[in-house]
Amino acid sequence: MTVPVIRSLTQGDAHLFASLRDPGLVGRAAFGHRWATVADGGEYRPEWTRVALRDGVVVARAAWWGGPEDTEPVILNWFDVAEGEGAAGAELLRTAPWSVEYELIVPPGWRDLPAVRAAAGARIAAAEAAGMKPLVERYRYEWTPADGLPERPGRLVFREEPDDAVILDVLRRVHSRTLDAHALRAVEGPGGLERAAQEELDFFHWCPSPRSWWQLAHTPDGALAGIHVPARNPGGPCIGFIGVVPEARGHGYGYDLLVESTLFLAGEGATSVAGSTDVGNVPMAAAFARAGHRVIQERVHLR
């Protein structure tokens, strides 16, 4: 068997990406997404897309994604390997110049679907062989007006907070005790709690939605309860962040914050709202379900 040739694509040979036959059981293709370059009306850059070719035939492909203003990819969200070509797929990832997270999209209950489980397992195994490690699994939610507007509990008072320093302090407090795997990874890393809070703030600014949408929540007596950030990312309206400060937990305020974000975005004309939480974050998952947000995907994250 010949050694595979691994390289990035160009606009001129971008058609090679589609030459790998894949049933589309997992990943973005399973949910109706199409890989296309920015020049062709898509959202991928050929220079951030790599293929492994054996005897001129594509046996593995990977596409890294970034927003319109990003100068480096922010996530790997498209990765496929031909049957029996796991080693080529692993080498494709291992030799890539970007060290970012891999997000594999799968249907709800994917482990109960043998063909889907096998397709996901092949990609996960190749990513692990490339040196990645499982980070977390998450639920991906969607709310539409057909799901009905949740009723505002009325327990909290919301107001805009224009000072980033205040927002950063609230994020520090939220992440000082957190169930979120991404935040925990940052907290346990070199930058500690400060880095976890700053990464969150950077994400808020990265979203193209207005800064004025960020709101703090207080109890009627003025005590800080938390923060919610309704947002728009490149994919559309989303629940950007929900966080309750430790001293206000135990009252179910996460639901109040989620409802406020949902109502805010609906008031801005959103016809669908995306949201997500870690599978292990039982309280937040319960809040999403109660607020009428449906699980439409699961996502496996490796880093």
Hey, do 5-132 and 145-298 end up sharing a CATH topology, with the first three levels equal? yes
pLDDT in tens, 76-109: 999 999 999 999 999 999 999 999 999 999 999 9
Specify the pLDDT at position 228.
99
Confidence tier at 52 by pLDDT (50, 70, 90): very high
Strand 157-160 and strand 102-106: the pairing is unpaired
Rounded Cα distance, 298 and 104, in Å: 8
Q: Please report how the helices 253-267 and 282-290 are oriented relative to each other, as an axis angle in degrees rounded to 10.
A: 40
From residue 82, alpha-carbon distances to 61, 101, 118, 178 in Å are 9, 22, 12, 39
Q: Quick one: average pLDDT of 46-72?
A: 98
Q: Is the pLDDT of residue 223 over 90?
A: yes
Rounded Cα distance, 53 and 264, in Å: 48
Specify the pLDDT at position 213.
99
Q: Quick one: average pLDDT of 120-130?
A: 99
Q: How many Cβ atoms sit within 10 Å of the Cβ of residue 19?
A: 13
Nearest to 81 by CA among 126, 114, 144, 18: 126
Q: What is the 3-class SS of the chain, one letter each residue?
A: CCCCEEEECCHHHHHHHHHCCCCCCCCHHHHCCCCCEHHHCCCECHHHEEEEEECCEEEEEEEEECCCCCCCCCEEEEEEECCCCHHHHHHHHHCCCCCCCEEEEECCCHHHCHHHHHHHHHHHHHHHHCCCCEEEEEEEEEECHHHCCCCCCCCCEEEECCCHHHHHHHHHHHHCCCCCHHHHHHHCCCCHHHHHHHHHHHHHHHCCCCHHHCEEEECCCCCEEEEEEEEEECCEEEEEEEEECHHHCCCCHHHHHHHHHHHHHHHCCCCCEEEEEECCCHHHHHHHHHCCCEEEEEEEEEC
Tokens of 269: 């004309």
How confident is the prediction for the chain on average, in pLDDT?
Answer: 98
Specify the pLDDT at position 18.
98
Rounded Cα distance, 199 and 53, in Å: 37
Q: Is the pLDDT of residue 20 over 90?
A: yes
Q: What CATH number does domain 5-132 carry, 2.60.40, 3.30.450, 3.40.50, 3.40.630?
A: 3.40.630
Q: Quick one: average pLDDT of 198-215?
A: 99
pLDDT in tens, 127-177: 999 999 999 999 999 999 999 999 999 999 999 999 999 999 999 999 999
Parse the chain into domains and list their residue ranges.
5-132, 145-298
By CB neighbour count within 10 A (0-12 exposed, 13-18 middle, 19+ buried), where does 68 fall? Answer: exposed
Q: How many Cβ atoms sit within 10 Å of the Cβ of residue 281?
A: 20
Q: State the CATH class of domain 145-298.
A: alpha beta
Specify the pLDDT at position 231.
99
Specify the pLDDT at position 1.
82
Specify the pLDDT at position 268.
99
Specify the pLDDT at position 251.
98
